[in-house]
Amino acid sequence: MNDILTKGDLIVVYWEDAIEDISWTSLKTVESQKVPLCKNVGWFINEDKDCVRLSNSIMCDEKELDVGYSIFPKGIIKNIEKIQDDELEVE
């Protein structure tokens, strides 16, 4: 998370997910489990003090820009890597 990100940068967000399992599991197994590290790739939209927003898909056939998106609370983010600069605009 060292790079200064600008709208439209292509990024990878590394984040930790929660685990929930309703099956019976030994306490020893539960105590040794680690949370999974996940990755999402998309175009950086913006961030504030609480979260990071990125678009994972862009609809290019409309005058107004419509996007599919993910919003990640900063508390679960482990790292963000910038892949490349890109334009978050309809071509």
pLDDT at 22 over 80: yes
Determine the average pLDDT of the residues in 45-67: 89
Strand, helix or coil at 22?
coil
Domain layout of the chain by residue ranges: 10-84
* Amino acid sitting at position 6: T
Tell me what the pLDDT averaged over the chain comes to. 88
Question: What would the pLDDT profile of 25-54 be if each residue is shown by its tens digit?
Answer: 999 999 999 999 999 999 999 999 999 999
Distance between CA atoms of 83 and 86, rounded to whole angstroms?
9
Whole-structure pTM value: 0.81
Residue labelled with tokens 């961030």: 47
What's the distance, CA 39 to chain centroid?
A: 7
pLDDT the model gives residue 61 = 76
In this prediction, residue 64 has a pLDDT band, given cuts at 50, 70 and 90, of confident
Strand, helix or coil at 64?
coil
Residue labelled with tokens 């600008």: 6
Write phi, then psi, for 74 (nearest 5 degrees). Answer: -60, -25
- Locate 60 and state its tokens: 């290019």
